Every structure is written in C-alpha cells, then in structure tokens.
C-alpha cells in the first residue's frame, strides 16, 4: 500500500512537464521496471550561491515513480546546488511518508535524475568558465604584442 502522501503526489504531481532551454538536465531509467525520469533545472546566481530557481520533471512510470519525481523537485526548488545535491533517496521516501520496499528504487531514480541535472549544469558552467579564461588569456597576449 502507498501512503496518503504518495497518492497525493501521484494524483496531483507538482512541477511536472518539460522545460525549454534548461541550464541542466538529467535522465535516468530502470530497465527492469521500465521507469524513465528526466529532471530539468534553471539556476540563478545569488550572493555567490547557485540556486535552483525552477525545476521540472517528466516521468514515465508507476505511481511511486511519479510521486518521487514530484517530491524531489519540491525538495530541491529554491535550494543551493550543494544542498540539493545532498538530497538522498531516503530523504525523498521519508518526505513521502514511506515507500513499499519494492518501490524504493523509485526514490533512487529521483535522486539520480536530480544529481545528473546538477552535474550537467556544472559541466556546462565549467566549460563556459574555461572558455572565458582562455579568451581572457588570448586578449592579454594580443595586448602584449601591440
């Protein structure tokens, strides 16, 4: 049996849908059960912190898969990337007032999709930072030659 909260998040999921031009996204799946989850994030910089300003999910799966996807987005929204990255599968299950043992893998997928979205954002942000650093070095070399 599912908890009342699991059923609420399954019947009326929050943050469901795709996102145009996300800053990061992560997709995970479980071939045994067929669940597939994608989490999209938008990130804003606020006082030297990167905050998840918007988050959405798309999930194909069972009630637990949809509920855990919805819950992880609620838990991460408004948090710094570092704090959101610390959300665990157990945190998600606890917020949903428990999951049947056979459905705990859904909270693992939700955690994984969120972490992949954050990692995707960080890899893109790191690439932009490196590109800016290289451009700055090239500009300095050009000025020295003049």
DSSP string for 20-41: SS-SEEEEEE-TTT--EEEEEE
The one catalytic residue among 33, 36, 62, 63: 33
Q: Which residues contact 111 (CB under 8 A, 6 or more apart)?
A: 72, 87, 88, 89, 92
Domain boundaries, the chain: 4-145
CATH 3.40.50.20, domain 4-145, yes or no: no
Widest distance between CA atoms in the chain: 75
Q: What percent of the chain has pLDDT over 90?
A: 77
Q: Tens digit of pLDDT for each residue in 7-63?
A: 999 999 999 999 999 999 999 998 788 899 999 999 999 888 999 999 999 999 999
Where residue 141 falls among pLDDT bands split at 50, 70, 90? low
End-to-end Cα separation, the chain, in angstroms = 75
* pTM of the shown model: 0.86
Percent of the chain with pLDDT over 70: 86
Q: Is 33 a catalytic residue?
A: yes
Catalytic residue among 37, 81, 106, 114: 106
Whether 121 contacts 41, CB under 8 Å: yes
């Amino acid at each position: 049996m599912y908890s009342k909260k699991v059923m609420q998040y399954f019947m009326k999921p929050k943050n469901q849908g795709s996102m145009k031009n996300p800053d990061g996204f992560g997709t995970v799946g479980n071939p045994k059960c067929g669940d597939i989850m994608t989490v999209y994030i938008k990130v804003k910089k606020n006082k030297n912190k990167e905050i998840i300003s918007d988050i959405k999910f798309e999930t194909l799966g069972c009630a637990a898969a949809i509920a855990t996807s919805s819950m992880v987005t609620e838990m991460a929204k408004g948090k710094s990337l570092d704090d959101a990255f610390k959300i665990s599968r157990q945190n998600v299950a606890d917020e949903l007032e428990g999951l049947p043992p056979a459905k705990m893998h859904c909270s693992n997928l939700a955690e994984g999709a969120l972490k992949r979205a954050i990692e995707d954002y960080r890899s893109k942000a790191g690439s932009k930072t490196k590109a800016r650093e290289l451009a700055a070095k090239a500009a300095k070399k050009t000025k020295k030659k003049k």
